[in-house]
A and B are shown apart, each in its own frame.
Chain A
């Protein structure tokens, strides 16, 4: 419920910035403007932005852009970066081919 409250709180209007075309997530080519706009669309956590835009879902799995994305979200929400809920980290933590994953024998 608290999450929903946050999402519907009133915000000032989205104001484009001169450097909005800057690429932040290199793997998925997501720009600063897209991430900023996502916050105005109601995304306030790293997971939400990731699922909404795919920022951090590419080859490096967010190793490079996570803290940049976090800073941008924090800036738009007006909170310290540490307060932005970080995204989940799950296995596999490194990119892996589907065939390899499918052949995972697990407990043998």
Chain B
């Protein structure tokens, strides 16, 4: 039987980070993954991540995946694919099925990083073809290049729902609606706003009643629910859709932790049954760790840090790292993890009733929470919106919720944008700094919430620059429709410039020439 210092189960962001960390201290490490490709969910994540530079913010998930694989290769981490771990036995032995054969391996430490699977919600017709998990839709689009359907109902307005919804639009599907049983949008407001300004309606306090169709989905009936989640008779709406995407949450795949006799807890905030872990991710079974979504549903960014902490801990426990270095590195990673868990969507606040203002005392936009977009009259409340009518080019930062994210402040070489104090604070625009209109702030924002507005473009006309991630890119000089934040069509406009460069990482900046009084209204473009 082959022995290793460390066996990692799962080659996703958490597992790879743990393996890289341990290998960097000299440990012989093997990673098992049941999939034919490593990277877990990272290669499906075509959007830019939030956070700070150390969290690899404003980088797209799949690029982070490539970097992790490269690092793992450089560190000599052995990654065994299509290798399904069947169980963990006493003495830290694992059985692995590969090529139709069961092999056994032993290690001094085991890190479980098996991730999560999608939760489902049963309703009449939910077993019809066309009802799919949002994660499955993402796999089809972003890994296999398949369009899951044409007209989609997204069930669930959490980050998975709104992020995948936007990617479905990028793939050419039409999102007929996003619904959620809760009375407010569950995901980041900026993600919801990207959909709303494309004209996607949000139906909050709505649930799905039925998928229509005989052999596949031919429609969906949604119904309004009251505050006790009971359907209100007579409030049914029928939507013409061929696909129903379910994004109602994830559930940790913690079976292996249970085969290792780890103490478990049913923790709704963590998504279900998870092992009880200490601050290093170690379970009640000494030497067995659980990191990433299997230990509690969070984001890939925090999964990577959890992986690093466990990697540091096993290195220290086996003498590959001295105590001083161990303490230093753990402290550093835990600071970084704490940052990511701050804010109104953070760890502790999950399920918090109904916040009315940000930590700094700015009022939260009700329309953003209830309809998915900011109302124009709410804009002046925020420190990123300092634009005065008639001004020359300026950034308008429509960032209104406490999200741990700050790439915008490094984007402007002149220091126009600052996120002072906590990373969750709202970015503020310094009016005294002259804007060159370079647009680096626009493309740096993972939430696509920064726009450039110029009221001096031409007499009676303003320039509005927006981040644009649809293909094909409109040609300069072409015409199309200008839409406001709610997706309402304002009228025809001309695209004056389309900027794209390598540093923008596929996010183009599209500048439209709009009538002067639309400069604070136009936020989206629809080509003919």
Contact = CB atoms under 8 A, between A and B. Distances in A.
Contacts of B103: 105
B1 A92 contact: no
* Main SS at interface, chain B: strand
B66 interface: no
Interface stretch (B73-81, B114-122, B351-359, B374-382): B114-122
Interface string A24-37: 10100000100000
A90 B87 contact: yes
B433 interface: no
A106 B122 contact: no
Contact of B273 (A26, A86, A92, A97): A86
A86 B100 contact: no
Contacts of A81: 266
Nearest to A19: B124
A76 to B, nearest CB: 16
A74 B1 CA distance: 44
Given A67-B251, A92-B86, A22 B124 contact: yes
Contact of B89 (A82, A91, A94, A96): A91
A68 B122 contact: yes
A82 B266 contact: yes
Contacts of B272: 67
Task: Give the size range of A's interface with the partner.
Answer: 20 to 34
Identify the interface centre among A68, A86, A89: most chain B CB within 10 Å of its CB.
Answer: A89
Contacts of B118: 64
Contact of B101 (A68, A82, A103): A103
Nearest to B257: A89
A64 B101 CA distance: 27
B256 interface: yes
Contacts of A106: 104
Nearest to B251: A67
Contacts of B119: 64, 67
A9 interface: no
B255 interface: yes
Interface in A56-94: 61, 63-68, 81-82, 86, 88-94
Given A67-B119, A101-B102, A104-B102, A93 B251 contact: no
A96 B117 contact: no
A82 B85 CA distance: 27
B127 interface: yes
17 contacts: A19-B124, A23-B127, A64-B117, A67-B272, A86-B273, A88-B258, A91-B259, A93-B85, A93-B86, A93-B255, A94-B34, A96-B102, A100-B97, A100-B102, A105-B103, A105-B104, A108-B1
Given A88-B258, A94-B84, 4 more contacts: A26-B127, A92-B86, A100-B100, A104-B95
